[in-house]
């Protein structure tokens, strides 16, 4: 795979055929290619829920030791929030849209739309959106004032039919989200479905969005949670959404507080990590540290995250 860090506007002009825009002091986009498919990882920023939310069923002492080994706080855990732009077969596809303004307390996130603009990406050029699921940190960018008006009237939004059905009457009984975030999630999904229902392209199990771009329902995290696999020229990349987290490699059995079916989510992430280790495909996931490009290696009965070297 050829990787090109997008710190030059030449790269963005090559990828998207559009001109330069302002840049930031902190890198917030990273470009790579999967065969003939162009990929741009966009950072929406960072959300900081309580550290226990990443391992709600863990022994507190074991969780604290895991955090200590990485010099991380016991109180709050920084989760990166990544989205992906894909260009394949003349289509421009946005995978997830970030937080938007759904949770004002998370002041370090909600930058997806601004950072797309900074990268020179015009929202009117987006032909398709793929949503891994309808949690507020994945649909929020589409709910920002003025965004819908910039999108094409023929925009196709791909989401699993099971996900749409679930959010008609969502069940939070097995999550650890609490009443405040549960209500945020319920409200964001409801608003999204109200505003965009006419543009939805629901699929049952799997759908080809563009050449070499396949979205597949996994379930687990939510009933309709999905992953996106890119395949071109013998190269592969998986966008795993919320199936994998930084703790997943050492402790796949730890439940994430946002999982609606924690046991099924564990089975899903083990299956995906085995696939990634076997195929050598690149991995990008919503909450892995930006730019979240790496591979998964088997390590005995567990797995090891191997970040890619940044390509300048």
Residue 194 belongs to a domain: yes
- Give the separation between CA 256 and CA 247, rounded to whole angstroms: 9
Helix, strand, coil percentages, rounded to 5, for the chain: 30, 30, 45
Q: Is the pLDDT of residue 1 over 80?
A: no
Whether 166 maps to a domain, the answer reads yes
CB–CB of 34/59 below 8 Å? no
- pTM more than 0.85: yes
- The answer to whether position 59 is within a domain reads yes
Domain range enclosing 9: 3-307
Predicted confidence at residue 24, as pLDDT, reads 66
Among 11-25, 53-67, 112-126, 253-267, the least confident range? 11-25
pLDDT of residue 23: 56
Is 312 a domain residue?
Answer: no
Q: Where are the beta strands (DSSP E) in 62-135?
A: 79-88, 91-95, 128-130
Handedness of CA 240, 242, 246, 251 (dihedral sign): negative
Over the stretch 254-290, which tens digit does the pLDDT of each residue have? 999 999 999 999 999 999 999 999 999 999 999 999 9
Q: Does 2 score more than 50 pLDDT?
A: no
Specify if 202 maps to a domain: yes
- For the stretch 108-151, pLDDT in tens is 999 999 999 999 999 999 999 999 999 999 999 999 999 999 99
Q: What average pLDDT does the segment 301-312 reach? A: 92
Q: What angle do CA 213, 79, 27 make, to 5 degrees?
A: 70
Choose among 242, 266, 221, 300: nearest CA to 58. Answer: 266
The b-or-e profile of 224-242 (16+ CB within 10 A means b, else e) is bbbbbbbbbeebbbbbbbb
pLDDT bucket at 3, cuts 50 / 70 / 90: very low
- In terms of DSSP bridges, do strands 156-160 and 200-203 run parallel, antiparallel, or are they unpaired? parallel
Q: How many domains does the chain have?
A: 1
- Residue 182 included in any domain: yes
Categorize the per-residue pLDDT at 25 as very low, low, confident or very high, splitting at 50, 70 and 90: confident
| Per-residue pLDDT reduced to its tens digit, 160-200 | 999 999 999 999 999 999 999 999 999 999 999 999 999 99
**CA–CA separation, 22 and 26 (whole Å):** 12
**Mean pLDDT score, 46-69:** 95
Q: Is 224 inside a domain boundary?
A: yes
Other beta carbons less than 10 A from residue 170's beta carbon:
17
List, for residues 202-239, the tens digit of each pLDDT value: 999 999 999 999 999 999 999 999 999 999 999 999 99
Question: Distance (Å, rounded) from C-alpha 176 to C-alpha 181?
Answer: 9
Domain contains 155: yes
Task: Say which CATH number the domain at 12 has.
Answer: 3.60.15.10
pLDDT tier for residue 19 given thresholds of 50, 70 and 90:
very low
């Amino acid at each position: 795979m050829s990787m090109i860090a997008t710190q030059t506007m030449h790269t963005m002009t090559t990828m998207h055929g559009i001109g330069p825009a302002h840049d930031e002091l902190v890198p917030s986009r990273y470009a790579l290619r999967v065969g003939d498919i162009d990929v741009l990882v966009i950072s929406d920023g960072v959300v900081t829920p309580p550290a226990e939310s990443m391992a709600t069923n863990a022994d507190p002492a074991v969780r604290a030791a895991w955090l200590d080994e990485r010099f991380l706080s016991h109180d709050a855990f920084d989760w990166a929030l990544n989205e992906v732009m894909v260009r394949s077969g003349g289509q421009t596809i946005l995978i997830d849209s970030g937080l938007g303004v759904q949770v004002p307390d998370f002041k370090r996130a909600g930058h997806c739309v601004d950072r797309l603009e900074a990268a020179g990406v015009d929202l009117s050029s987006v032909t398709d959106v793929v949503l891994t699921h309808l949690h507020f940190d994945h649909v929020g960018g589409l709910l920002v004032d003025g965004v819908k008006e910039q999108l094409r009237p023929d925009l196709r939004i791909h989401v699993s039919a099971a996900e749409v059905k679930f959010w008609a009457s969502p069940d939070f009984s097995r999550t650890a989200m609490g009443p405040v975030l549960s209500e945020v999630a319920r409200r964001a999904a409801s608003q999204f479905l109200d505003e965009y229902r006419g543009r939805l392209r629901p699929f049952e199990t799997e759908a080809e969005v563009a050449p070499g771009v396949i979205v597949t329902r996994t379930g687990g995290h939510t009933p309709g949670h999905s992953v996106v696999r890119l395949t071109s020229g013998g190269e592969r990349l998986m966008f795993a959404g919320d199936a994998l987290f930084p703790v997943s490699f050492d402790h796949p059995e730890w439940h994430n507080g946002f999982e609606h079916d924690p046991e099924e989510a564990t089975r899903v992430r083990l299956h995906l990590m085995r696939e990634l280790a076997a195929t050598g495909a690149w991995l990008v996931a919503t909450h892995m540290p930006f730019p979240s490009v790496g591979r998964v290696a088997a390590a005995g009965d567990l797995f090891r995250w191997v970040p890619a070297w940044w390509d300048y």
